[in-house]
């Protein structure tokens, strides 16, 4: 009983905590439906629902559950000066930055609808991002090695590797939350306040920096949406659901 349809929610610029609360509500509803289905005969079971949230956040740093807080190089007073917030979150990965000009995507997927393989799930997100970058003429994008999830440019060129897409997810009962962040027009100076993903010898970049021009965010969203649907094999139910 696979459901390969996905509700799309474009939340625009939204506070991190507010969006996290929305994620958790959708995530918990999906798990509750899975648990309820277990007690029902097949003909009475209701398919789980998949969601994809796109948004941007005001300046915020988030630290994954296995992360090291020393990778944040700011104290509370300095965070306030930079109008940035800091959260401990329940995703994988270490520390990262979110801010305006960055395309953040949160797939709340029941992987039983797609693939019960978290590694393949991550690889498909990377593949969609690489296809998106190719549309902008960037052909030197590739996933990192094991333990360095995400998409990099010139990954295997010593001293030149730079990260353009970060991924960090949380799963329970094969339901996902959190997701990815693609640097589109991101203010990269905010990354200087952290050790990105706990990797001190590699830098970060953005589409704007690589191409030397500001990128239309709506265009970037549409391209990423198109390739996520292609690689996962799903279709969108609602292309512009502004309210959840």
Look-up of token digits 């590699």: 202
pLDDT over 50 (residue 65): yes
pLDDT over 80 (residue 199): no
| Residues paired with residue 166 on neighbouring β-strands, in sequence order | 181
pLDDT over 50 (residue 83): yes
Q: Which two tokens stand for residue 97?
A: 């930055």
Rounded to 10 degrees, the C-alpha dihedral 10/143/183/54 comes to 10
pLDDT over 70 (residue 163): yes
Is residue 14 within 8 Å of 5, Cβ to Cβ? no
State the CB neighbour count (10 A cutoff) for residue 234.
19
Look at residue 244 in the predicted model and tell me its pLDDT: 47
Domain tally for the chain?
A: 1
pLDDT over 70 (residue 200): no
Is residue 50 within 8 Å of 34, Cβ to Cβ? no
pLDDT digits (tens, 9 = 90+) for 67-82: 888 888 888 999 999 9
Q: Name the 3-class secondary structure at 37.
A: helix
C-alpha separations of 157 from 147, 152, 165, 200 in Å: 18, 11, 18, 16
pLDDT digits (tens, 9 = 90+) for 99-131: 999 999 999 999 999 988 999 999 999 999 999
Domain that holds residue 28: 5-241
- Give the confidence band of 59 by pLDDT, cuts at 50, 70, 90: very high
* Helix pair 217-232, 118-135: axis angle to 10 deg: 140
Active site residues: 197
Query: Stretch 85-92: mean pLDDT, rounded?
Result: 89
Helix (H) or strand (E) holding 22: helix 16-38
pLDDT over 90 (residue 140): yes
State the CB neighbour count (10 A cutoff) for residue 118.
14
Question: Rounded CA gap, 21 and 13, in Å?
Answer: 15
pLDDT over 70 (residue 230): yes
Question: Rounded CA gap, 194 and 94, in Å?
Answer: 10
pTM above 0.85, yes or no: yes
Query: Stretch 71-94: mean pLDDT, rounded?
Result: 89
Look-up of token digits 């960055």: 102
Look at residue 71 in the predicted model and tell me its pLDDT: 86
CATH number where 143 lies = 3.30.930.10
Question: Rounded CA gap, 185 and 51, in Å?
Answer: 25
C-alpha separations of 137 from 43, 86, 92 in Å: 49, 34, 31
């Amino acid at each position: 009983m696979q459901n390969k349809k996905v509700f799309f929610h474009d939340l625009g610029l939204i506070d991190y905590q507010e969006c996290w609360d929305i994620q958790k509500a959708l995530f918990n509803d999906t798990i509750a439906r899975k648990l309820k289905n277990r007690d029902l005969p097949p003909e009475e079971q209701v398919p789980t629902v998949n969601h994809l949230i796109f948004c941007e956040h005001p300046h915020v740093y988030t630290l994954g559950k296995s992360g090291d807080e020393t990778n944040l190089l700011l104290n509370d007073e300095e965070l306030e000066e930079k109008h940035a917030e800091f959260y401990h979150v329940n995703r994988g990965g270490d520390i990262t930055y979110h801010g305006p000009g960055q395309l953040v995507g949160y797939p709340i997927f029941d992987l039983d609808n797609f693939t019960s393989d978290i590694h393949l799930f991550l690889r498909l997100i990377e593949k969609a991002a690489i296809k998106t970058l190719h549309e902008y003429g960037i052909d030197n994008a590739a996933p990192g090695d094991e333990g360095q999830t995400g998409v990099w440019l010139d990954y295997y060129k010593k001293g030149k590797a730079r990260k353009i897409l970060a991924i960090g997810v949380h799963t329970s009962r094969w339901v996902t939350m959190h997701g990815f962040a693609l640097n589109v027009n991101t203010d990269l100076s905010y990354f200087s306040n952290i050790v990105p993903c706990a990797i001190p010898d590699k830098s970060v970049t953005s589409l704007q920096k690589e191409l030397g021009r500001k990128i239309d965010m709506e265009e970037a969203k549409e391209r990423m949406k198109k390739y996520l649907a292609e690689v996962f094999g799903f279709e969108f139910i609602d292309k512009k659901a502004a309210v959840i």
